[in-house]
Structure 1
Amino acid sequence: MIYKIRVFLDAKEDVFRDIEIKEKQTLFTLYKGIISAFSLQGEELASFYEIDEDGVEMKEIPLEDMSDDGTDETMADFYIKEVFKLQGDRMKFVYDFMEMWTFVAELISVEDKPAVLNYPLTVYRFGSMPLKAPKRDMEIMDLDGDEDIDFAEDAGLNDLQIDEDLDLEDL
């Protein structure tokens, strides 16, 4: 069986790729397909995440085993048919934890057809890949426990206001 997975970049503009992959290939192979389809360098850490219907992360499946004893599961341990069981199943994919390239991979079809080329295979491209990862709103928990801090909302101060607030005579 050949699985067709649509991979969306989490961005304002529509950017996605359709990737075909064999059911007995692994998430590691899909990772390599995403890297190729989106022209990413492939030199950074990455993880897939199982997500629920609301997009909440459930389980992380990393590129590499980061445990001390080497017993954690990685992308190479999961077959495509195990994680994408039904049409519409989705996984989150994050590449480069500094830049946070974020994608959603969705199973759009399963076809019983003969394999014609080397898989994974990018069969459709839509949209242009931005040069930098799209910015995401970040929330950080207030350590005092009062409330979450949303930098998108609380970034009300700009450089001019900060300069006005400084009393240069006190320096």
Structure 2
Amino acid sequence: MIYRFRVILNSQDEVFRDIEIEENETFEDFHNAITQAFGFEGLEVASFYESNEEWEQKKEIALFEMGEGEDAVKTMANTKLNHVLSADHRNLVYIYDFMSMWTFIIELADIAEPEIGILYPNLMFAQGEIPLEPQDPEFVSESMHGDDQDDDNFDDEFDAENYDDLDFDEHWN
């Protein structure tokens, strides 16, 4: 069988690739297909994470062996796609280059019969261009940017070492 994936880059722009790959290929093969489809050199550390419908990262599938015994995680070279993914377990999170944190969500969109004459893995469709830098996650409260807030009112002369002007008892505990 052939697994058809949509691999979506965490980006403000719509950047994704649709990739087909044989179900019995390894996660390392899938990693190589993704890096080639997005134009990465493939030289950086990466990991897949099993995921639920809310895209929460679960069990890791690492590019390299990271530990031993109970701390050991699955490795891409030793883990086949069909041992992790199925019609009921379709979601992955993929992180490429832990210094830059290129983050992708991956959904198994279809399981199909292989087509004669097509070499797998196969890049079916490409949408969008990779930005120069990965998207930084924003964890900013909406109240910080409300209409009553003005960034120009920030006190640049605040001295964190001088407690005399603050309205609290330094020895309250």
Normalising TM by the smaller chain, what interval? 0.7 to 0.9
What is the Cα deviation at residue 71 of structure 1?
5.8
Matched, 1:62 2:55: no
Matched, 1:129 2:94: no
Amino-acid identity (%): 34
Paired residue for 2:164?
Answer: none
Matched-pair contact (CA < 8 Å) for 2:10–2:103: yes
TM-score (norm 2): 0.76
- Kindly tell me: are residues 115 and 36 of structure 1, through their superposed partners in 2, closer, same or farther at Cα, counting changes over 3 Å? farther
Is there any run of 5+ residues in structure 1 with no aligned partner, and where?
Answer: 138-149
After superposition, what is the alpha-carbon deviation per residue over 1:2-30, rounded to whole angstroms, capped at 9, x for unaligned?
11111001112211100010111011111
Matched-pair contact (CA < 8 Å) for 2:55–2:105: no
Paired residue for 2:121?
Answer: 120
Paired residue for 1:164?
Answer: 157
Q: Secondary structure at the match of 2:19?
A: strand
What is the Cα deviation at residue 127 of structure 1?
1.3
- Kindly tell me: are residues 92 and 39 of structure 1, through their superposed partners in 2, closer, same or farther at Cα, counting changes over 3 Å? same
After superposition, what is the alpha-carbon deviation per residue over 1:52-108, rounded to whole angstroms, capped at 9, x for unaligned?
222221111111002257964201222122222017711000011111100011111
TM-score (norm 1): 0.77
Matched, 1:83 2:67: no
1:39 aligned partner, one-letter code: G
Paired residue for 2:168?
Answer: none
Equivalent residues in 2 for 1:97-116, closer than 5 Å: 97-116=98-117
Q: Secondary structure at the match of 1:165?
A: coil
Paired residue for 1:146?
Answer: none
2:109 aligned partner, one-letter code: I
Is there any run of 5+ residues in structure 2 with no aligned partner, and where?
Answer: 161-173
Bigger radius of gyration among the two = 2
> How large is the RMSD of aligned CA atoms in angstroms?
2.9
Matched, 1:38 2:31: no
State the distance in 2 between where 1:36 and 1:20 align.
Answer: 13
State the distance in 2 between where 1:162 and 1:80 align.
Answer: 54
Matched, 1:24 2:24: yes
1:32 aligned partner, one-letter code: N
- Kindly tell me: are residues 71 and 52 of structure 1, through their superposed partners in 2, closer, same or farther at Cα, counting changes over 3 Å? closer
Aligned length: 154
Matched-pair contact (CA < 8 Å) for 1:26–1:80: yes
State the distance in 2 between where 1:79 and 1:68 align.
Answer: 20
